[in-house]
């Protein structure tokens, strides 16, 4: 498909004698013609950035859209604007299909009389853009069908619907369906589905309700675990772990995460289900070649906004295990919010204890419910630090910046609140797991 776009862009470049650039309606680069001019003004900052980063800035997009390109049916001439980095004027050829603009072909405009393309040549170029529009519409339709099948394969209970969706995906993807791939989860995802080309090797993508997780067995419905965009619940609170300096700052962040988990539980506000999760099925060159996916996934997490998480399942071959892979991706996304040290994109293989914690019930254990209340945030923070430091009083007191006697008093209060004996291994294990699970 990419080669088809490139051929059509090259055809327009040859027809008009100037390098052409093709972008989708969101100003994402699809293809560009070869530029061999020695004129430095021909490649201005806007075109350079578009080619190097495969996208334009919101300011540039706003500038061009002010000329009505989103509604135009023919070529639109746009003057130069050096203050905006547009050193040369542009000719925009809207790419349309059945009355809808799906993208834009951009040409550098020579404002000198008689030197730019004439109306007849531009009309011929518009005929080529119509063929590009047909390709983009076909790609969008195929993407919609793949999205539907992927969503069903991830969320349907065991049975004929899941099996038929998986078979349809396998047929659509051809031989690559049996190759290595990963599933990526970004949640909560606030906007419409991005184009599949946003992630290198993306085979299919879809959005699913953030209340549904196929990996909790057989598509059972569970509570969403990420706080709403811009909110102050679990997702936003967990980011506090990265603030402050040294161990004391990290400990303050841990306490904020625990308090955020408690505040959001059952409130219908922070921590409640929030829209959709973005799921992407991504092909890999090899099971070890995750680098490009991690980079693109980090970009998607940023686009999703504050409080979003991103996670990758363990690489696998074939499509039979998609629901389990989705469960891993969701768990990794939750863990990436709960524990920032796991990276902007958490990998299932690197979660450690969080692989088990993501499978635990979302409600806190009765023994630790009182400790997790907002009134006892300081004690919860102390308990987590004590257990993180393997019960070593000296290291814990230093990390918290308190005297040992203060630590001993707090530990006594923790035992009174929970009924647990911190000298007993199993009680310490229960408390540690409950505190870490509260982050999720």
Q: Considering only residues 337 and 194, tell me which one the structure prediction assigns the higher pLDDT.
A: 337
Per-residue pLDDT, 261: 35
Taking only the tens place, the pLDDT of each residue in 273-305 is: 457 899 999 888 887 777 778 888 888 888 888
CATH architecture classification, 2-139: 2-Layer Sandwich (3.30)
Taking only the tens place, the pLDDT of each residue in 34-85 is: 655 555 545 555 555 555 455 566 777 887 888 999 889 899 988 877 766 6
Other C-beta atoms within 10 Å of 107: how many? 26
Per-residue pLDDT, 46: 59
pLDDT surpassing 90 at residue 339: no
Of all residues in the chain, the percent with pLDDT exceeding 90 is: 10
**Nearest by Cα to 265 from 367, 361, 376, 384:** 361
Taking only the tens place, the pLDDT of each residue in 98-129 is: 888 888 999 887 655 556 678 888 999 999 98
pLDDT band, residue 311 (cuts 50/70/90): very high
222-235: average pLDDT: 32
pLDDT surpassing 90 at residue 228: no
Of all residues in the chain, the percent with pLDDT exceeding 70 is: 73
Lowest mean pLDDT among 136-140, 233-237, 331-335: 233-237
pLDDT band, residue 133 (cuts 50/70/90): confident
Other C-beta atoms within 10 Å of 262: how many? 24
Identify each DSSP E strand in 98-173 by its residue range. 100-109
Residue ranges per structural domain of the chain? 2-139, 156-226+274-357, 366-439
Q: How far is CA 253 from the centre of its chain?
A: 23
Whole-prediction pTM: 0.56
Per-residue pLDDT, 269: 29
Per-residue pLDDT, 313: 92
- Residues in contact with 57: Cβ distance below 8 Å, sequence separation at least 6, in sequence order: 49
Per-residue pLDDT, 185: 92
CA separation (Å) from 291 to 136, 201, 255?
28, 12, 33
Q: For all residues of the chain together, what is the average pLDDT?
A: 75
3-state secondary structure 159-204: CHHHHHHHHHHHHHHHHHHHCEEEEEEEEEECCCCCCHHHCCCEEE
Superfamily for domain range 366-439: PucR C-terminal helix-turn-helix domain (1.10.10.2840)
Q: What are phi and psi of 157, to 5 degrees?
A: -70, 165
Q: Is 335 left (phi over 0), alpha (psi -120 to 50) or beta?
A: alpha
Per-residue pLDDT, 266: 30
């Amino acid at each position: 498909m990419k080669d088809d776009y490139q051929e059509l862009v090259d055809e327009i470049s040859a027809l008009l004698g100037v390098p052409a650039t093709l972008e989708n309606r969101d100003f994402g680069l699809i293809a560009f013609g070869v530029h061999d001019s020695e004129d430095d003004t021909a490649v201005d900052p806007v075109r350079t950035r578009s080619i190097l980063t495969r996208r334009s800035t919101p300011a540039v997009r706003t500038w061009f859209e002010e000329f009505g390109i989103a509604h135009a049916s023919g070529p639109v001439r746009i003057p130069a604007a050096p203050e905006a980095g547009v050193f040369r004027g542009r000719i925009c050829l809207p790419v349309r299909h059945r009355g809808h603009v799906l993208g834009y072909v951009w040409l550098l405009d020579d404002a000198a009389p008689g030197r730019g393309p004439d109306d007849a040549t531009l009309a011929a170029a518009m005929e080529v853009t119509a063929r590009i529009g047909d390709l983009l519409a076909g790609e969008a339709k195929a993407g919609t069908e793949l999205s539907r099948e992927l969503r069903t394969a991830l969320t349907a209970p065991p049975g004929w619907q899941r099996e038929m969706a998986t078979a349809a995906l396998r047929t659509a993807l051809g031989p690559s369906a049996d190759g290595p791939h990963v599933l990526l989860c970004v949640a909560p995802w606030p906007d419409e589905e991005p184009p599949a080309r946003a992630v290198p090797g993306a085979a299919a993508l879809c959005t699913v309700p953030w209340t549904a997780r196929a990996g909790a067995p057989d598509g059972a419905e569970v509570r969403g675990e990420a706080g709403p965009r811009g909110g102050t619940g679990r997702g936003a609170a967990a980011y506090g772990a990265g603030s402050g300096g040294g161990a004391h700052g990290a400990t303050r962040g841990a306490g904020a995460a625990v308090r955020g988990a408690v505040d959001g539980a059952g409130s219908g506000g922070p921590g409640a289900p929030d829209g959709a999760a973005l799921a992407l099925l991504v092909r890999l060159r090899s099971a070890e070649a995750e680098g490009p996916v991690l980079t693109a996934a980090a970009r998607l997490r940023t686009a999703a906004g504050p409080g979003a998480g991103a996670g990758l399942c363990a690489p696998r071959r074939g499509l039979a295990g998609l629901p389990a892979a989705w469960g891993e991706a969701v768990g990794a996304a939750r863990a990436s919010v709960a524990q920032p040290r796991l990276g902007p994109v958490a990998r299932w293989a690197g979660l450690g204890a969080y692989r088990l914690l993501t499978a635990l019930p979302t409600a806190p254990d009765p023994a630790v419910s009182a400790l997790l209340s907002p009134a006892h945030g300081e004690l919860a923070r102390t308990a987590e630090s004590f257990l993180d430091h393997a019960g070593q009083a000296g290291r814990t007191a230093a990390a918290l910046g308190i005297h040992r006697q203060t630590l001993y008093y707090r530990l006594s209060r923790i035992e009174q609140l929970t009924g647990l004996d911190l000298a007993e291994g199993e009680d310490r294990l229960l408390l540690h797991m409950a505190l870490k699970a509260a982050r999720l």
